[in-house]
Structure 1
């Protein structure tokens, strides 16, 4: 009975065709929102990346032939990790816009001190910011945003082939998008900030008209209550605010991956 003989070239080709895509997919899952947070254990993320890799490897373009322990293989692995991290962090910008919006609203309505540990990032964050993060996460999953991310990720192996990707332009594109976070956050909170500014001006006029009125004992709880009412009214239009921002974020993800 003859034994199956495998050469070093065959083994290296199989390893490269499986391991190189797996590093890019794992990097995306480790850095993207929802799946890349501490809410999902690392072991589950690794199993999920392994399952996706096994499912998509037959449909991917041919990988370059490299030896598993060569320096060129390590450079290719580092390239895949950087590309995956760039794609994941580009989505993080979209979610951070809502976190910044929650922080701004909390400060304006006097709830800046109401913070708790954010389980997704492991830091203290305003309660309203955490509420917006959970809301956006549910909307993102309900509208199949995670499937769009997987589609762009798989297509990136064709548009950004292993071994021929240029990373400098992608770094500049991602850095240029940082200002978009603050602009999107200001658009989200502009109605609430305007309403709270009118309330503060009204309290200032009341203080000038009646100096004996203790503005600290009356104004602070009233601004807090009015801020919650304004925030509640603003939630009625959250879907119309979410859709254009999500569309722009996913479009930027496609441009970053040079996908269709």
Structure 2
């Protein structure tokens, strides 16, 4: 997250009077770095003669100027300000504006959202016509795999879903991979397709890690696109 000195997205969010903190004034601005995927809002908050530079994420997390959890006092100030008319509408407008900026910078705003994967990230024996992004060898058998995004249009998670199967077999094993790299079993498949058996050989390869990284980018862009254009464009 970068905070430029001049930013056309600067927006005055609220002036209000609070019982605990007195007069409170809040201005907000978005990041303008085209290479950044954030949708956070930088806040300049004034209360009781003091001023603080804070960051408010789209999920409501408040951070200080070093992106650490903000002091309780400033959390109270922002919570009080958020109750004033116009604050949440202004904040939501900045988040939407930032998401549009990100999508436009990456050429992904128009039309329906489709996952885009550079060919160099596809695994060995990838076959896009058969929905296979690569294969992994387990106990002498070569299993196909693909990675799916969350299908729930109302969900904001950043989980990825790894589907593994033996070509010609209808059984599928599905593993959820969280944004911080934790694996969870979503659906059991063949007995040999345990989480340990699958995770080990895949996460050890730089190619698979690069593929995961790009799919995480695609998930963020999908969420932004959905929030800006609506579920019908996904």
In proportion to residue count, which structure has more strand?
A: 2
User: What is the TM-score with the length of structure 1 in the denominator?
Assistant: 0.27
Which has the greater radius of gyration? 1
TM-score by length of 2: 0.29
Structure having greater relative contact order (Cα 8 Å, sep ≥ 6) = 1
